Amino acid sequence: MSTPGGTHPTLEILLDRMWSDYVGLNPIARRIHQLLADRGESVVNDHIAFRTFDLPRVSIDVLAKPFIERGYAERGTYEFPEKKLVARHFEATEPGLPKIFISQIRVATLPRDAADLIARLLESVSDAHPSQPDFFVAGRLWPLSFGEYQRLAASSDYAAWVAAFGFRPNHFTVDVNALRTFGSLADLDAFIKQSGFALNASGGEIKGSPGELLEQSSTMANLIDVTFSDGTHRIPACYYEFARRYPGPDGRLYQGFIAASADKIFESTTRGQ
């Protein structure tokens, strides 16, 4: 339970808040979760992912702090030169808890007008905001026009997503290893498609391979109505990911990520895919 006044919620409470926020934007995930439960599956979450900017007030370090305070530690760093991103993942010491994957875009590498717009948006983030224990479900903290969203999207779909949705989970991930009624990720993907959901086909529906010790796939982000300062428009929101891990030479399941695969997973929120 949280401490008096709710100032320091437990990890369990934070995870519940993240899931509630996430399925509010991505009801597809709730429907797939229920379809799996109807098959008798107990769905385990492999990791939760967040997106942000590499500016000091909202960097990876800021979003990671509540997890580090609750026993998580950094376990890997990843580079995405084409998308101008860097990411780190964190793992809990307590078994059974999801990994946390946080990426950030290098704002200074964007065109000047895009970088200046992001700097202006972040002026709405007060010094007090990042210190809140649930900052990572704060959502969008600034006014944004659809024209500004489009300007950012012309340079980076990733930057446009963060500008439109703010600080909240970008996706949750089903741990395919924990499923009992599917023999492979391909079997699960076939079930997802037969149930009426579109998969991200960028780089192939399955990214990675057993030889790389990780296979991943994901739905395409659902389109939702988002309110901008100049009207409401439908844009890509969140997606649901599926990950199957394989044992390394030491016999343990690989717990990291493959940058080349994650690069294509990021495109689940690309407009027009």
Cβ–Cβ < 8 Å for 111, 58? no
| Residue 7 confidence (pLDDT) | 56
CA of 109: how far to CAs of 50, 160, 166, in Å?
A: 20, 15, 20
Structural domains in the chain (count): 1
| Residue 208 confidence (pLDDT) | 96
Query: Is it the case that residue 271 has pLDDT exceeding 80?
Result: no
Q: What is the pLDDT of residues 152-188, one digit of tens each?
A: 999 999 999 999 999 999 999 999 999 999 999 999 9
Q: What is the band of 273 on the pLDDT scale with cuts at 50, 70, 90?
A: very low
What range defines the domain where residue 231 resides?
4-269
Question: 223: domain CATH number?
Answer: 3.10.180.50
Q: What is the pLDDT of residues 200-228, one digit of tens each?
A: 999 999 999 999 999 999 999 999 999 99
